Amino acid sequence: MRAFVFPGQGSQKVGMGAELADASAVAREVFEEVDDALGQKLSAIMREGPEDVLTLTENAQPAIMANAIATLRVLEKEGGIALADKGDCVAGHSLGEYTALCAVGAFSLADTARLLKLRGQAMQAAVPVGQGAMCALLGADVEKAQALADAAAEGQVCAVANDNDPTQVVLSGHREAIERAIALVKEHGIKRGILLPVSAPFHCPLMQPAADAMAEALEKTPPQALRLPVYANVTASLVSDAAEERRLLVEQVCGRVRWRESVIAMQAAGTTHFVELGGKVLGPMIGRSVQDVEVTSVVTMEDIESLIKAL
């Protein structure tokens, strides 16, 4: 069995998609369609920066999606590979769940871009700049991370936001609580705590205003039928019902990204090959979470051509 997976925030960088756009009219069409849907030249920001503008959540989210879908479209249209024929399921990390849904026809490309732009804006607006923070814990499993979060909270929000793999967990919440957590890592047997360069505390209860905004947006633009089932971030389980997936996308804004559990669940269901489209960040996490699987990360035209031969 094969799973196609899609990266989340943090995988953006200036120059992303440029080589693909230069080599393929199919990729250029994707970037143009996203530009048109958003009414902005996002493709120019992706290609040329500046980096701080690309890193803004409202730009990074649709940019990462556009890059992954461009990769997929080249694979499909130039390689004659249909995702629904070659895959058994899809999954994405945080915003990547929207990319996965676009890939299986639940959202159009234009709607996905608009939803992610709104999601980024709503997440940014939910907490005043400087009041929230996130940190990555290296050498921590989810149990150690939870114990640390509980100890550091002191009446503030300090939550496990991302359970990425057995060695990397991310905390999110009030800045003071996150700073306390970083100061306490050694006491909890954790190697390091690193403050992340993010503009808001994602995937924690402070994001409730953004969850409300996405509930309203998804009411107007609900997901349609899925050509392949998706592993939802908040449950780490398979979803094929569009109405259920809509509810889970709202929960996802404040909820934990259960990526490690999702990967384990996919392997338990029989997945032996993971294909990451548009990034090289999920591959290492997958490799640390499960054994005896094949992981392919696809970013360049060369990567796409190699995958076409392999499929």
Active site positions, annotated: 94, 203
Which residues are paired to 276 by β-bridges?
5, 297
Residue of 252, 238, 152 lying closest to 193 (CA atoms): 152
229 upstream amide cis, omega within 30 of 0: no
Contact (CB, 8 A) for 103 and 83: yes
Q: State the Cα–Cα distance between residues 54 and 178, nearest whole angstrom.
A: 25
Query: In Å, how far are 62, 179, 219, 286 from 259, measured between CA atoms?
Result: 20, 24, 26, 9
264-289: b (≥16 Cβ within 10 Å) or e: bbbbeeebebbbbbbbebbbebbeeb
- Burial bucket for residue 128 (CB in 10 Å: 0-12, 13-18, 19+): exposed
Q: How far apart are CA 183 and CA 179, in angstroms?
A: 6
According to DSSP, residue 186 is labeled: G
Which helix or strand (DSSP H or E) is residue 277 part of? Answer: strand 273-277
| Helices H / strands E in the chain, number of each | 15, 10
